[in-house]
């Protein structure tokens, strides 16, 4: 995972506006999939982009809240099958 750090004046409320390429980037980690389990084990898990650890805040991008709602609807539909 690579994080690009905003600078003063960079928009944080519109995901369609790219920040300049010269913004500092930090390698925060690497995801390595080592095994796959039955998909039903994940049915009860709902991703919410606004559930964040202490010290991390979501930006003011309205897409975050919209995604949280649509992911909940998606999970409800999956569980209703």
Instruction: Report the C-alpha gap between 33 and 68 in whole angstroms.
Output: 25
Q: Which two tokens stand for residue 78?
A: 């999956």
DSSP state of 21: T
Asked if 3 contacts 26 with a C-beta cutoff of 8 angstroms, the reply is yes
The model's pTM:
0.60
DSSP three-state, residue 52: coil
Separation between Cα atoms, residue 61 and residue 9, nearest integer Å: 15
Give mean pLDDT in consecutive 10-residue pieces for the chain, a chain of 81 residues: 94 92 95 83 78 89 87 86 72
């Amino acid at each position: 995972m690579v994080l690009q750090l905003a600078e003063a004046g960079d928009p944080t409320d519109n995901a369609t506006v790219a920040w300049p390429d010269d913004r500092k980037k930090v390698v925060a980690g690497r995801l390595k999939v080592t095994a796959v389990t039955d998909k039903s084990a994940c049915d009860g898990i709902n991703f919410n982009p606004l559930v964040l650890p202490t010290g991390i805040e979501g930006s003011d991008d309205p897409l975050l809240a919209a995604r949280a709602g649509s992911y909940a609807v998606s999970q409800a539909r999956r569980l209703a099958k």
